[in-house]
Structure 1
């Protein structure tokens, strides 16, 4: 599949690039996409939630009232979960949410996500660009020229460019990453994926392995 290369004003440069069938034209696996997105979201969780249980509460262990004759339920330590200030029953504990996923499944998931975007005509290729200084106004002008200003977009650069990144940081619907940071969740989460020429070359060489 050939895609026209655009400039930052949204006009065709007269050049076209061939999207590799091995990356953008495979039989997509929705289950692989599900597993990779699930792992990514799990890794975003810090897992540092904690509530004290009755054994961790500071307080007296004296029996607070006699066993019988009070007309109410028997009670032992003031640290019991049934009392205010007592420990919590089955409260959250610190844990690690990380999951393991085979690298071949991750590669399949990313190629599947790119294939789906390609089938939806949601992939754009632009020539490499840079800014002399961070300017959100200039970055918004590029999005407007490409017709994706109002859509959730993912801009993939070949190499890190601090000025371009800073120019996009205030825009809620747009995100700038490098080709090495590309993952299944970011692809699926975007309405449109914009690749620079250098980023496209790097992704195809990495994903063909």
Structure 2
């Protein structure tokens, strides 16, 4: 699949790059994509939720009324879950939500997600960006030139670039990552993927193995 290389003004440079069919042209495995997205979201959960149960409530252990003759149900402790301020029955406890997937399955999922974006023609290739200083305005102008202003976009750099990252940080809907930070959830969640030329070689060599 050939894609034209654009410059920061959104114009074609006259050059084209060939996207690897082994990464961008496979038959998508939707179930692998589902499993990888599910794992990513599960791994974001802290699992620190906790409610105090009956044994953990601070309060008197005195029997609050006599056993018989009151005409109401017997009650032995103010910490009972049936009273306001009592412990919670079967409350949440800290839990590890971490899930694991094999490396091969994760690669299949990422190739599938990239192939889906390629079929949707939602992939752009851009010349390498190089900002002298962080500039949100300059980065915003690039997005406008690519007609991505206000859309969910994922920009993949070839190497870590602090100035480009800082320039994008205040813009809602746009995210800048390096190839090592690219995952299935971010690919699926974005409306458009923008690959800088320097990023393609590393991604293709990593995912085609």
TM over 0.5: yes
Matched, 1:131 2:131: yes
Alignment partner, residue 143 of structure 2: 143
Cα deviations across residues 4-58 of structure 1 (Å, max 9, x unaligned)?
Answer: 1111111111111110010000110110000000000011111111100001112
Query: Secondary structure, in 3 states, of the residue corresponding to 2:93?
Result: coil
Counterpart Cα distance in 2 of 1:171 and 1:77 = 55
Cα deviations across residues 130-188 of structure 1 (Å, max 9, x unaligned)?
Answer: 11111110001000111111211000001111111111111111001111100000000
Alignment partner, residue 182 of structure 1: 182
Query: Secondary structure, in 3 states, of the residue corresponding to 2:92?
Result: coil
* 2:8 and 2:129 in contact (8 A); partners too: yes
Query: Secondary structure, in 3 states, of the residue corresponding to 1:15?
Result: strand
Q: Any residues of structure 2 matched to 1:68-107 within 5 Å, and which?
A: 68-107=68-107
Unaligned runs of 5+ in 2: none
Q: What RMSD over aligned residues (CA atoms) do the two structures have, in Å?
A: 0.8
Counterpart Cα distance in 2 of 1:55 and 1:30 = 47
Alignment partner, residue 20 of structure 1: 20
Of 59-68 and 43-52, deviating more is 59-68
Counterpart Cα distance in 1 of 2:5 and 2:37 = 30
Query: Secondary structure, in 3 states, of the residue corresponding to 2:143?
Result: helix
Counterpart Cα distance in 2 of 1:90 and 1:200 = 51
The alignment covers a number of residue pairs equal to: 209
Task: Report the CA distance between 1:90 and its aligned residue.
Answer: 1.0
Matched, 1:30 2:30: yes
Task: Report the CA distance between 1:62 and its aligned residue.
Answer: 2.2
Cα deviations across residues 54-76 of structure 1 (Å, max 9, x unaligned)?
Answer: 01112222221111111111111
Unaligned runs of 5+ in 1: none
Counterpart Cα distance in 2 of 1:56 and 1:194 = 53
Moved segments of 4+, more than 6 Å: none
* 2:158 and 2:178 in contact (8 A); partners too: yes
Matched, 1:41 2:41: yes
Alignment partner, residue 162 of structure 1: 162
Alignment partner, residue 52 of structure 2: 52
* 2:150 and 2:172 in contact (8 A); partners too: no
Counterpart Cα distance in 2 of 1:106 and 1:178 = 17
Of 7-16 and 136-145, deviating more is 7-16
Alignment partner, residue 205 of structure 1: 205
Matched, 1:65 2:47: no
